[in-house]
Amino acid sequence: MQRDPQDFDRVLSSMCTVPHPAARDAAMRFLSDNPGDPATYPVIAELEDDVVAMLGDIVGLDDPHGYVASGGTESNIQAVRAARNLADTDSPNVVAPESAHFSFPKAAEVLGVELRTVPTDADHRADLDAVAAAVDADTAMVVGVAGTTEFGRVDPVPALADLARDADALLHVDAAWGGFYLPFTPHEWSFAHADVDTMTVDPHKVGRAPVPAGGLLARDSRVLDALAVATPYLETRSQATLNGTRSGAGVAGAHAAIDAQWPTEYEDTYERQQANADWLAAELDARGYRVTDPVLPLVAADIPTREFDALRDRDWRISTTAAGETRFVLMPHVTRDTLARFLDDLDTVRD
């Protein structure tokens, strides 16, 4: 069955997008190569090393360690796993703002780590006092989010890094969604801005790589060592990934997507989508909706349930935050024309 790329036209809530054409072609060529077995599939293994180096450029890390994961969930689980394995305690905890993605509760459950979720401030960013109060001698990791799933907020990463350092804990930054927009903003979010230890940054979101292509990066090789298990019957002796067999399509697709777009095309996409977000926010504000100011290309607005349901009935793919605001994720496929058509429909259905 052929999927029509135009199907993305009305998708305003997803973090998936239309893959870059070069990435689609590259993915097709490596559909069955397994980067999990580099001695048998050396070409895809080399491409993966390149992708890690390219991701290092994007997130300000000179000598990056890491791999292409299946997505943000795997990277977050693995970051927690590494922190737990490196921590000098029998009862490790992870401190994360309540804005952190639901992959952290999964990680905590699977790994037997206590997750301490702390409130965010009035602007939906990690509250530093609340983080400081939750951190103790058993804290293995502090989490900051650079581009939150619900509001596109960027946590105060340098201050979180200081709190983590004081507690001898690792600082993990989840830039799964924001990582390909943030390099073109003044936000302080990256390895270059603070003592960040690990980061999640997903080519299969804003990077326009095909799914599955996530990214886990670490400053120190000890993080990858803490994840490695012995692989007795492979030519290579150990494996640090969570998955065994992995998709060569994800790796090759990420390589082609980043090669084609970094940095110029990604910067153009950011500029266009930030302008679209600002425009949409102003249009909604002018209609009397309460709008959360978009610090990245993600708009949240208080649209009443009846109007939300009527728009869903008109086939708009929109979703709400836990508190009920409608979210608009300005992924690369979302155009000004689409947003104008959305507003026309909103004007038709609103009270």
Stretch that binds ligand 0PR, among 26-34, 55-63, 158-166, 170-178 (CB under 6 A): 170-178
Q: How many residues bind ligand 0PR (CB under 6 A)?
A: 16
253 binds ligand 0PR (CB under 6 A): no
Shortest CB 332 distance to ligand 0PR, Å: 13
Shortest CB 200 distance to ligand 0PR, Å: 6
The span from the first CA to the last CA of the chain, in angstroms, equals 40
Stretch that binds ligand 0PR, among 69-77, 87-95, 270-278, 297-305 (CB under 6 A): 69-77
Identify which of 313, 342, 341 has the alpha carbon closest to the alpha carbon of residue 327: 342
Spatial CB neighbours of 126, under 8 Å, sequence gap ≥ 6? 97, 99, 118, 120, 144, 145, 155, 156, 160
Stretch that binds ligand 0PR, among 70-78, 134-142, 179-187, 257-265 (CB under 6 A): 70-78
Q: Which is nearer to ligand 0PR, 127 or 283 (CB)?
A: 127
161 binds ligand 0PR (CB under 6 A): no
Q: What's the rounded Cα separation, in Å, for the pair 4 and 2?
A: 6
- Rule CB under 6 A: choose which of 19, 92, 207, 214 binds ligand 0PR: 214
Read off the tokens for 333: 């496929």
Place of tokens 């790796």: 251
Asked if 231 and 206 count as a contact pair (C-beta separation under 8 A), the reply is no
- Rule CB under 6 A: choose which of 139, 149, 261, 274 binds ligand 0PR: 149
Asked if 172 and 200 count as a contact pair (C-beta separation under 8 A), the reply is yes
Q: At what angle do helices 21-29 and 248-261 cross, to 10 degrees?
A: 150
273 binds ligand 0PR (CB under 6 A): no
Q: What's the rounded Cα separation, in Å, for the pair 337 and 277?
A: 13
187 binds ligand 0PR (CB under 6 A): no
Shortest CB 71 distance to ligand 0PR, Å: 3
Task: Please report, for residues 141, 250, 279, the alpha-carbon distance to residue 202 in angstroms, rounded to integers and kept in the order given.
Answer: 20, 11, 26
174 binds ligand 0PR (CB under 6 A): yes
Q: What's the rounded Cα separation, in Å, for the pair 115 and 101?
A: 12
103 binds ligand 0PR (CB under 6 A): yes
Distance from the Cα of residue 250 to its chain's centroid: 15
Q: What is the DSSP letter of 93?
A: E
Q: Which is nearer to ligand 0PR, 37 or 149 (CB)?
A: 149
71 binds ligand 0PR (CB under 6 A): yes
DSSP three-state, residue 146:
strand
14 binds ligand 0PR (CB under 6 A): yes
Stretch that binds ligand 0PR, among 9-17, 35-43, 47-55, 292-300 (CB under 6 A): 9-17
Read off the tokens for 298: 């993600």
- Rule CB under 6 A: choose which of 176, 196, 216, 254 binds ligand 0PR: 176
Q: What's the rounded Cα separation, in Å, for the pair 176 and 174?
A: 6
Shortest CB 92 distance to ligand 0PR, Å: 21
Positions that interact with ligand 0PR (CB under 6 A): 14-16, 71-73, 76, 101, 103, 145, 149, 174, 176-177, 202, 214
